[in-house]
């Protein structure tokens, strides 16, 4: 299984799938458009995690992606995965498959509202579209994929992936103007991104802390530190267990902080803000400090321009003063 080339970029909103569409779009008439752009890739099937899923959002602007949330504990799901990979590959680059272990990636499990495995969605132009849960036969699978391609064509996503090293790879790339060389990342940012790609959040946190110590005005390091802290807290957790624990202990600040992390990871900022701000007046001083610090992290993750942040910040100030 290939891994997508690393290109983490700005971590702000890295796994914000708050615009998830919970229905398949109606099929358009006619056939999908011929590929307008080709994208060289190391393969047509990839594995993604909470930390790396952002890498695929840009790709989905050119090539329709099929996202499979699976569990290695499900034998029927494992058998279905084999069929899914084969069928996607037979579309010859018009689709790319991105596989996510639902057991190990609670943010994406939450974002795609996964109730059963496998859950299969499309990612088209950066916008997720739910397709189906459970297994389907091969004929139904092709019908669903054809509809996804038609929806992609309606939205101008008509490119195709070409496996690097194949005869077609690079054909169109030579006709494209050369891209500008990106500005190199500051050293500690680069080290942090590399650590995130490896799932080493502790190292990424230390790199961001070092960057902030060297330049307290490094706002991207501050935002990156908040984002990676959230990833680290959710690593190895299960969304269902987090929500159950929060429901059983509505006054427990730690349980509510963790479920708020889960809300933020899925893009449900208002839920997270409301949960913690409603709880705030009932807490002792230490717990209030912990909630205040966590809310400030969320504000950095969302960005100061987000109107939800302005509303929550105003409410927090009223509670503090």
Gap between the Cα atoms of 70 and 80, Å rounded: 10
Same domain as 119, residue 194 = no
Residue 31 lies in a domain: no
Same domain as 156, residue 216 = no
H or E element at residue 99: strand 96-101
pLDDT by residue (tens digit) across 230-266? Answer: 888 988 888 889 999 999 999 999 999 999 998 887 7
For the full predicted model, state whether its pTM sits above 0.85. no
Same domain as 191, residue 170 = no
- The CATH number of residue 236's host domain is 1.25.40
- The CB-side HSE value for 221 (13 A sphere, CA atoms) comes to 23
Same domain as 105, residue 67 = yes
Same domain as 227, residue 125 = no
Gap between the Cα atoms of 203 and 191, Å rounded: 8
Same domain as 206, residue 167 = no
Quick one: pLDDT at residue 318? 94
Same domain as 242, residue 141 = no
Quick one: pLDDT at residue 55? 86
- DSSP readout, 196-241? HHTT-HHHHHHHHHHHHHH-TT-HHHHHHHHHHHHHHHHTT--HHH
Residue 158 lies in a domain: yes
Q: How high is the mean pLDDT in each 10-residue block of the chain (321 residues)?
A: 32 33 33 63 91 90 94 85 91 94 89 86 87 87 89 86 70 43 75 83 94 90 88 87 94 96 82 95 96 94 82 94 82
Residue 9 lies in a domain: no
Phi, psi of 182 (to 5 degrees): -65, 150
Residue 153 lies in a domain: yes
Quick one: pLDDT at residue 36? 60
Same domain as 228, residue 147 = no
- Residues of the domain holding 240: 187-320
Quick one: pLDDT at residue 172? 44
Same domain as 194, residue 69 = no
Quick one: pLDDT at residue 63? 94
- The CATH number of residue 99's host domain is 3.40.30.10
Same domain as 131, residue 243 = no
Boundary-marking domain end, from 146, 175, 204: 175
Boundary-marking domain end, from 175, 202, 234: 175
Same domain as 203, residue 101 = no
Gap between the Cα atoms of 66 and 100, Å rounded: 11
Quick one: pLDDT at residue 236? 85
Domains: count for the chain: 2
């Amino acid at each position: 299984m290939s891994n997508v080339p690393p290109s983490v970029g700005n971590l702000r909103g890295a796994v914000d799938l708050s615009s998830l569409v919970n229905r398949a779009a109606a099929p358009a008439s006619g056939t999908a458009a011929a590929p307008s752009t080709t994208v060289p890739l190391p393969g047509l099937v990839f594995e993604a995690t909470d930390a790396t899923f952002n890498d695929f959002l840009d790709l989905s602007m050119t090539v329709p992606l099929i996202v499979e949330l699976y569990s290695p504990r499900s034998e029927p799901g494992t058998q279905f995965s084999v069929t899914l990979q084969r069928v996607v590959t037979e579309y010859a680059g018009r689709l790319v498959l991105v596989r996510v272990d639902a057991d190990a990636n609670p943010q994406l499990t939450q974002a795609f509202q996964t109730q059963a495995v496998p859950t299969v969605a499309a990612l088209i132009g950066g916008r997720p579209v739910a397709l189906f849960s459970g297994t389907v036969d091969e004929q139904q699978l092709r019908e669903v994929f054809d509809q996804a391609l038609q929806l992609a064509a309606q939205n101008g996503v008509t490119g195709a992936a070409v496996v690097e090293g194949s005869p077609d790879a690079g054909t169109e790339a030579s006709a494209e103007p050369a891209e500008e060389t990106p500005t190199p990342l500051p050293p500690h940012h680069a080290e942090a991104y590399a650590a995130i790609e490896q799932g080493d959040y502790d190292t990424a946190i230390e790199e961001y802390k070092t960057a902030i110590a060297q330049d307290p005005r490094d706002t991207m390091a501050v935002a990156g530190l908040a984002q990676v802290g959230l990833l680290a807290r959710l690593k190895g957790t299960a969304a269902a267990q987090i929500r159950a624990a929060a429901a059983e202990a509505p006054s427990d600040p730690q349980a509510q902080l963790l479920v708020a992390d889960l809300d933020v990871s899925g893009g449900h900022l208002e839920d997270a803000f409301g949960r913690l701000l409603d709880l705030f007046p009932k807490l002792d001083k230490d717990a209030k400090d912990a909630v205040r610090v966590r809310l400030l992290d969320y504000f950095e993750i969302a960005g100061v321009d987000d109107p939800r942040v302005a509303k929550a910040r105003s409410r927090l100030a009223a509670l503090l003063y």
